[in-house]
Amino acid sequence: MVNDEGQLYTIEGVAAALIMLLTAYLIVGATSMYTPGDAHISDMQLEVLGSDALTMMDIPPNGTVTASPLQQIIENDSYGGGQFRVMFMNYTNVSGYGPKHDIQFSANYTYRVPADATLMSVNINSSRYLTGGEHAIRVTKWVIVNKKLPPDTGVLGRRAVLVEVLLWRD
Amino acid sequence: MSDETGNLSIDFLVGFTIFLIAFIWVASMISGIMVGLQSSHIDYDAVAYRTGVILAEDPGWPASPPWEFYGDGQKYEISRFGFATSKDSPGILSQDKLNRFFCSSFIYPDDYQSRAIFGDFPYQFNISVIDVETRKGQSVGGILPDGYGYIRRLVKIKGSSNASIGLAYIIAHKYNNTAIPSDLNVTHHEFSILINNTKLQTQMRNPTYQIDPSREQIMINITDLRSTIVPGYNSPSISNYSKLVNISLTSINVYKWDGGALSMVRTFNTPYIDGNSSVTAPPCIVSDNISLVINPRVFDIMQAGYSQVYFNLTFDLKTGIPPKSVNSSFLNNTFSKPFDYNYDPANVTQPRLRDAVVEVAVW
Amino acid sequence: MARLNDDAQWIILMGFLVSFSLFFLALIINQSTVVGQTTAESVIEFPKNDIRDISQVIKEHAGNNGTINDPVYQDIIALSIQRKGAVVNYTLNTVYTRGPLTTDMRNYSLIHYNNGVTTYNENWTSY
């Protein structure tokens, strides 16, 4: 007649089912939330801003003038540095409705010395002296200039230089 | 009998199960302590960056004919917004596209979500463009909250080109009927404007500085019409006479130079007369000035993006009741050259680049 | 004492087996999100502005009637590898297309860029 022999299977079955269901619920709830933070966002935003600023400086103001402001800055060492600083700071520190930044920079241009195939760097300008503790990112721009690059003593001709700017937030 | 070694009792089982459940729960809680962000929050800067790139570096789709000249009824054919003048000029924005984007016929957030933000998650956003020179900005979207993802792009806005034909210009270029034997011999006048797309495209290849009527709107303003009616208009008696003359713009015909022959393709029926805010179709009476605002669709319908196109305005001068024809020199370049919409700054105000900032905030 | 039937404890054991394996898999998935690349890292890593810039300067060089092995060419190759860590190589040719009335001269260039992670090749003809 009625005995309790089969009930062991039922209880065990129910217990096993509960364990599995509970574990599955915990796991589904646990894995979907954990996404690590993105620490490089501010670097990316700064790099985009610096790249944009250099690109804007390399656009001639209208169709008849062929030299862009950046080209003129490099071709003219005497006033170029000051003009670079004014233009670049205007571009990077402009603000719309968003946050205001305090961005510092250090700019130079690098060119090749044909005689011994080395590279030389000329400082354009900087807003602060680099101490080494800044978390800086680098943006670059290629410019073709009509300039005699020392120690070259040959004919004036076109050369390509790489403008490099280190940017950091104060 | 059966062997009991190795068997666990039910009490033990229940206890063990409860212990294990508690253990798993605690183990999962520990890993939760170490990480901060939710998955939708982490995305804000990335979505803002993507939208910034789409708006600042892409011309949108459809690009030709440009999406900004689609009417409100066709806004569902616009699949993507973009401000750039063309694919080859990223960072140079077109004023026409900016005006259309901020037009109130697009509804925040739905219209913008499917055409600029993309994705299934209903982000809130704010897109703004500020002109650095004038410090004036336009924006669409919500008010910025405390935490949001953000990108700022530096761009240049390419203004539109336009031409103004006033009295001084008309006299300098002899746009009045100066046929011998008499200046005042003619009652019917034609003024012709040439838009030479072939030359416009080949003379300036760089889309940053190019005047491209098939992609940008152009405007031609003809002013001081009344003062050209009779020469020597400064004389009081003659100027009184000129007040009684009715200038009738009978038609604006559009001709296209196609395969060596000039043929009339259509009429242009949307000039702005005398500074009215809506168009008046010819034939109509003009008091002093006419504005032709020529939309890229005009060139697209004629398939004249690379051809020479002439806009011929025909005028009749009449006075009195019943109207009698009036002889005058007026505005007429039948014997001189058509007005050439070209890259000469003396003829056409060239498109000007001005600095601007595009900001996208997403939350 | 009467012993209860313990034969069905294998069900519980199977239940435990499934639970433990699920837990183990969840741990692996949890750890995998940490080693992935964040969005900002992939944006910085992809050289979009570098490629646009080098492509533009090469086209400018072509427009200035440049030739292979002239100073600008040497500058670009040397500076690119030494300061940008990218191998750049390009050809410069002129193509003549003869029409019924004119002979059009166009500049033509094959540009190659490789910074170790991204390779870019472009076949460009001027207008």
Q: What are the phi and psi torsion angles at B165 (to 5°)? A: -110, 105
| pLDDT above 80 for B310 | yes
Across the interface, do A98 and B359 touch by the CB < 8 Å criterion?
A: yes
A93-119: average pLDDT: 87
DSSP type of residue B114 = I
Q: Give the total number of structural domains in chain B.
A: 2
Q: Which of A11, A18, A38 sits opposite B42 (nearest CB)?
A: A38
Is the same domain home to C61 and C116? Answer: yes
Is the same domain home to C26 and C52? Answer: no
Is the same domain home to B119 and B212? Answer: no
| pLDDT above 60 for B231 | no
| pLDDT above 60 for B234 | no
How many percent of chain B have pLDDT more than 70? 84
Q: For chain A, what is the mean pLDDT?
A: 83
Q: Are B119 and B48 in contact (CB under 8 A)?
A: no
Q: For chain B, what is the mean pLDDT?
A: 83
Task: Find the domain containing C22 and state its range.
Answer: 9-34
Q: Is A65 at the interface with chain B, CB within 8 A?
A: no
Is the same domain home to C14 and C74? Answer: no
Has residue C65 been placed in a domain? yes
Q: Which of B10, B20, B27 sits opposite C4 (nearest CB)?
A: B10
Is the same domain home to C73 and C114? Answer: yes
Across the interface, do B91 and A52 touch by the CB < 8 Å criterion?
A: yes
Is the same domain home to C21 and C74? Answer: no
Q: In C, which residues are within 8 Å of A71 by CB distance?
A: none
| pLDDT above 80 for B229 | no
User: Which of A154, A12, C118, A49 has the alpha carbon at shortest distance from B49?
Assistant: A49
Low-confidence residues of chain C, pLDDT below 50? none
| Shortest Cα–Cα distance, A98 to chain C (Å) | 20
Q: Is B243 at the interface with chain C, CB within 8 A?
A: no
Has residue B240 been placed in a domain? yes
pLDDT tens digits, one per residue of A33-68: 445 566 788 889 999 999 999 999 999 988 888 899
Q: Show the beta-strand stretches assigned E in chain B.
A: 92-94, 125-131, 136-141, 149-158, 162-165, 188-196, 218-222, 245-258, 261-267, 271-273, 284-286, 290-294, 308-319, 324-325, 339-340, 348-349, 353-362
Task: Find the domain containing B306 and state its range.
Answer: 174-336
Q: Identify the pLDDT of residue A154.
A: 81
Polymer length of chain C: 127
Has residue C1 been placed in a domain? no
Query: Among A77-86, A102-111, C97-106, where is mean pLDDT lowest?
Result: C97-106
pLDDT band at B236 (very low <50, low <70, confident <90, very high): low
Is the same domain home to B81 and B155? Answer: yes
How many percent of chain C have pLDDT more than 90? 43
Q: Identify the pLDDT of residue B242.
A: 64
| Shortest Cα–Cα distance, B209 to chain C (Å) | 15
Across the interface, do B13 and C19 touch by the CB < 8 Å criterion?
A: no
Is the same domain home to B104 and B235? Answer: no
How far apart, in whole angstroms, are the C-alpha atoms of residue C23 and residue A28? 10
pLDDT tens digits, one per residue of B25-57: 666 665 554 444 445 667 788 899 999 999 999
Is the same domain home to B227 and B262? Answer: yes
Query: Among A52-66, B93-107, B161-175, C6-20, where is mean pLDDT lowest?
Result: C6-20
pLDDT tens digits, one per residue of A15-35: 776 777 777 767 766 655 445
Is the same domain home to C64 and C24? Answer: no
pLDDT band at B167 (very low <50, low <70, confident <90, very high): confident
Is the same domain home to B186 and B292? Answer: yes
Q: Which of A15, A23, A112 sits opposite C74 (nearest CB)?
A: A112
Q: How many CB pairs under 8 A join A and B?
A: 114
Q: Give the total number of structural domains in chain C.
A: 2
Chains that touch A (3 or more CB pairs under 8 A): B, C
Has residue C42 been placed in a domain? no
Q: Identify the pLDDT of residue B232.
A: 45
pLDDT tens digits, one per residue of B261-275: 888 888 999 999 988
| pLDDT above 80 for B5 | no
B144-165: average pLDDT: 91
B71: exposed, middle or buried (Cβ count in 10 Å: 0-12, 13-18, 19+): exposed
Q: Is B138 at the interface with chain A, CB within 8 A?
A: no
How many percent of chain B have pLDDT more than 90? 36
Contacts for B168 with CB less than 8 Å, ≥ 6 apart: none
How many percent of chain A have pLDDT more than 70? 84
Q: In A, which residues are within 8 Å of B204 by CB distance?
A: 63
Q: Is B73 at the interface with chain A, CB within 8 A?
A: no
Q: Identify the pLDDT of residue A159.
A: 92
How far apart, in whole angstroms, are the C-alpha atoms of residue A23 and residue A12? 17
How far CA B153 is from CA of A52, B49, C55, in Å, comes to 7, 9, 21
Residue found under tokens 């229940």: B14
Q: Identify the pLDDT of residue A36.
A: 57
How many percent of chain A have pLDDT more than 90? 43
Q: In A, which residues are within 8 Å of B156 by CB distance?
A: 56, 59
Has residue C40 been placed in a domain? no
Has residue B287 been placed in a domain? yes
